[in-house]
Structure 1
Amino acid sequence: MSAPELRLFPKHAGIWEGTYRRIDANGKLIDQWKSRLTCAMLPDRKYHQVNEYMWDDGFKEMLDFGVCPFNEKNELIFENPRLSGKAWESGDSVILIWEYKHRPGMKLFEQIDLIGNDDHRIRVWKWSEGDTFNGITMIEERKVCGQDGIDPQFWVDLPKNRTNGQESRSDN
């Protein structure tokens, strides 16, 4: 029996721009940065996402999650040198749970929701380490274009532009 059709993930394909706001467990804003996410649905039930982050001080990151497969339960499996996790559709939300490999015990729980005409999305990451709640990251993004608007040169240039490493500013 084949997996049912994906309903939400295809709506997230394209380029999204927005703002991340990291808030500690006491509700204090501790960091903020701009973002540009490039998401593509690929043949053979695969997905590719690249997150570009830009801070006001000029610091930039480009994190490539790699080409990730969907399993038979329609779960998107993330497995790369930086993190391990999965994402799935639940009702009208995409849910993710992942762990950073360089921070044992650190776990993130994310919910993504499309609002308006599916060109505006709101996301929240809930951070935990062991049994400690470390705060949230609130994200608001607008869709700049669909997958057909992604410049093919973006993928060609990606290997020289990505900044994947064990740690990044956005992980803190």
Structure 2
Amino acid sequence: MTNTLKQLMPDVLEHEGVWRGTYRHINPQGETLDFHHSQVECVFPASGPVVYIQRNQFTWDDGRVFNVAFDGMIKNDKIYWDTETFKGYGWVASPNIFLLELERKDEPGAWFYESIVMGADKKHRARTWHWFKDGVCFKRTLCDEHLVISSPEGNHK
């Protein structure tokens, strides 16, 4: 973790560790489009230009598995990502709320806005994504997660 991230947004460091939960994608009528289980690992490196690493594993009841990892760097006082599927940035809105604005590269014209809300116990969090295309919300993603492994080094304390 760099001093810059610790100074810039210390509350985001509370997300360090391995989180398990579920993702549910719903349409505007509230009907489920997709449901899967997740394991999300958030790492804040002690040094270097990368200040955030996220490793995701998604699993479906039919046996499908999808793994992806991506890095974030500080740019304009925010964490910035530019991956194969999305680009954008995130910032701390309040001590328990982290916001992201991301453009989907794999779905031209689509954006999503994500809020990650940390529970008071720092062991549960809820995430909501609002997907927009041509100015219209066409999908939402609801995530409920719980912390299963906190930072082994306790870097964020």
- TM above 0.5, yes or no, is yes
1:40/1:48 contact within 8 Å kept: yes
Q: Which amino acid aligns with 1:139?
A: C
Is 1:19 the counterpart of 2:22 in the alignment? yes
Q: Deviations over 1:31-52 (max 9, x none)?
A: 1100000110012461100111
Bigger fraction of residues in strand? 2
Is 1:144 the counterpart of 2:148 in the alignment? yes
Compute the displacement of 1:63 (Å): 1.1
**Cα distance in structure 1, aligned partners of 2:85 and 2:109:** 14
Root mean square deviation of aligned Cα: 1.7
Is 1:88 the counterpart of 2:91 in the alignment? yes
**Cα distance in structure 1, aligned partners of 2:17 and 2:87:** 23
Is 1:38 the counterpart of 2:44 in the alignment? no
The alignment covers a number of residue pairs equal to 146
36-45 vs 15-24, greater mean Cα deviation? 36-45
> SS at 2:137's partner residue?
strand
**Cα distance in structure 2, aligned partners of 1:62 and 1:102:** 16
Percent sequence identity is 25
Structure-1 residue corresponding to 2:107: 103
Note the 1:1-172 alignment, pairs <5 A: 4-44=7-47, 46-65=51-70, 67-73=71-77, 75-91=78-94, 92-148=96-152
TM-score normalised by the chain length of structure 2: 0.87
1:26/1:135 contact within 8 Å kept: no
Compute the displacement of 1:82 (Å): 1.6
Compute the displacement of 1:7 (Å): 2.2
Q: Deviations over 1:76-96 (max 9, x none)?
A: 100112210101001131000
Structure 2 portions without partners, runs of 5+: none
